[in-house]
Chain A
Amino acid sequence: MVVPNDQLIEDVKQLIIQRLKLMDMTPEMIETDAPLFGEGLGLDSIDALELVLGLEKEFGVIIPDAEVGKKVFQSVRTIAQYVCESRGAT
């Protein structure tokens, strides 16, 4: 399994804050392994679409469908892992 570095984790948190305009939040307030949807950060499917576009624009990675999205959008860490895997980096 790829292990994303701290900088990438931070960048993913920044992406979430900026794309979703969570202006009252800082990266420190988002737990790396907490669920993003439902009980966790409380994101919804409209937010998911924003994140899909954000990931494509900022990191050049594509979420091709809902099945992949469901796996990738579990937490900040799973997003960062997917970015690493898609880039072929470790």
Chain B
Amino acid sequence: MTPSKGKIAFCFPGQLQDRPILEGNHPLKGDPHLEELLKRASRQTQFNFHNFSFEGEKKNEEEKKDFSLKLQISTYLLSMAHFYRLRATGWVPDIFAEHSMGIYAALAASEAIDFEEGLFITEGIGRLLKKEGELHPGGMASIIGLPLEEIQKICRDLNGFHLFIANYNGSMHFVLSGEEEGIGKAISLALSRKAISASKLPFRTALHSPSLYALREKIIEILQEIKIQPLKVPILNHWTIKPLRREEVKDFLSREIGRPVYWVRCVEKLLQEGFTQFIEVGQEAILTKLIRWIDREAEAFSAGDLLANKGLVSR
């Protein structure tokens, strides 16, 4: 990758779908920043992230119950570790974009909150979601290869199951959220209507659907003691397609798990504004692929790939 004259967007991904594995020559293996973050997270949350993330630990029953919560916190930790590495190697972002729970790391990276506060919010909301999943089991499905009209039709055809579009990820890529049984039926229906792929995601709640809107007050309670600082790097609000204002942050956090993620709209806005480089601040290349789908010419890379190839790192 050659240095760009255009603007750079750092993109913070949502929750990992499986346990992060940083083995072999992974660039973050032994990274002092990551080691430090893992220690701090293990101290604050009482989970052992060192073992969870990077060693072949076998999960017992108790740990399985907290799996999704640990994935949420791990996603946050990996984004922060990649962010610090990118910053240390000279990458300077002009804006942050975020997908779903990527907002917590984006806020910490923008210094609106500090690292520990981001961890506290991630864990607090994660615990709320875990409880919600136990009380009102829901689910999510990723459907690839059908256009919006077909997805809307599936929601209408399964009207009794309260299905909603949770993520607008691309012109042929959507995530549905809703009642557990309805999610299974939506997957079958999507496949029968020629989807390329339709699969259940590892969530036990109907994330980004109006059914979670009831958690708003509880999220506001979690945020009560936190003072939002001025954002040093703007974060694009995917609802308004404008930078998130400092005074909007708590309201955004309290609502976002009950509203859809408009990722396409976000990327299109950045492309219009002249952003040419998109760096996914995380271990995988999920947003990277979505961005390339929206614009094949966009230079999109994951931080994991950049850091693995040292020749691409320094700017």
Q: How far is the CB of B191 from chain A (nearest CB, A)?
A: 5
Please, which residues of chain A bring their CB within 8 A of the CB of B185?
Answer: none
Q: Which one, A6-14, A26-34, A40-48, A81-89, is touching chain B?
A: A40-48
- A interface, by DSSP: helix, strand, loop or mixed? helix
Q: How far is the CB of B231 from chain A (nearest CB, A)?
A: 30
B65 touches A (CB below 8 Å): no
Please, which residues of chain B bring their CB within 8 A of the CB of A21?
Answer: 292
Q: Is the CB of A52 within 8 A of B292?
A: no
Q: Kindly identify, within residues 42 to 69 of chain A, every residue whose CB is under 8 Å from any CB belonging to chain B.
A: 44-50, 52, 63-67, 69
Give Cα A64 to B198, complex, Å.
Answer: 14
Give the number of chain A interface residues (Cβ < 8 Å). Answer: 16
Please, which residues of chain B bring their CB within 8 A of the CB of A63?
Answer: 196
Q: Is the CB of B293 within 8 A of A50?
A: yes
Give Cα A69 to B199, complex, Å.
Answer: 14
Give Cα A49 to B199, complex, Å.
Answer: 14
B173 touches A (CB below 8 Å): yes
Q: Is the CB of B191 within 8 A of A66?
A: yes
Give Cα A45 to B292, complex, Å.
Answer: 14
- B interface, by DSSP: helix, strand, loop or mixed? mixed
The one of B191, B194, B196, B309 that contacts A45, using a Cβ cutoff of 8 Å: B196
Please, which residues of chain B bring their CB within 8 A of the CB of A46?
Answer: 144, 173, 286, 289-290, 293
A24 touches B (CB below 8 Å): yes
Residue of A nearest to B143 (CB): A45
B159 touches A (CB below 8 Å): no
Please, which residues of chain B bring their CB within 8 A of the CB of A64?
Answer: 194
Q: Kindly identify, within residues 237 to 296 of chain B, every residue whose CB is under 8 Å from any CB belonging to chain A.
A: 286, 289-290, 292-293
Q: How far is the CB of B235 from chain A (nearest CB, A)?
A: 24
Q: Is the CB of A45 within 8 A of B293?
A: no
Give the number of chain B interface residues (Cβ < 8 Å). Answer: 18
Q: Kindly identify, within residues 128 to 180 of chain B, every residue whose CB is under 8 Å from any CB belonging to chain A.
A: 142, 144-145, 172-173
Please, which residues of chain B bring their CB within 8 A of the CB of A48?
Answer: 144, 196-197
With contacts A46-B173, A52-B145 taken as known, whether A65 is within 8 angstroms of B199 at the C-beta atoms is no
With contacts A63-B196, A66-B196 taken as known, whether A49 is within 8 angstroms of B172 at the C-beta atoms is yes
Q: Kindly identify, within residues 194 to 235 of chain B, every residue whose CB is under 8 Å from any CB belonging to chain A.
A: 194-199
Q: How far is the CB of A83 from chain B (nearest CB, A)?
A: 17
Q: How far is the CB of B283 from chain A (nearest CB, A)?
A: 13
Please, which residues of chain B bring their CB within 8 A of the CB of A67?
Answer: 191
Give Cα A64 to B192, complex, Å.
Answer: 11
Please, which residues of chain B bring their CB within 8 A of the CB of A47?
Answer: 289
The one of B142, B195, B286, B292 that contacts A66, using a Cβ cutoff of 8 Å: B195
- Most chain-B Cβ atoms within 10 A of its Cβ — which of A21, A45, A69? A45
Residue of A nearest to B199 (CB): A45
Can you list 19 A-B pairs, Cβ within 8 angstroms, ordered by A?
A: A45-B142, A45-B144, A45-B199, A46-B286, A46-B289, A46-B293, A48-B144, A48-B196, A48-B197, A49-B172, A50-B289, A50-B292, A52-B196, A63-B196, A65-B191, A66-B191, A66-B194, A66-B197, A69-B196
A46-B144, A66-B195 known; 9 other A-B pairs, CB under 8 Å?
A21-B292, A45-B197, A46-B290, A48-B144, A49-B144, A65-B196, A66-B191, A66-B194, A66-B196
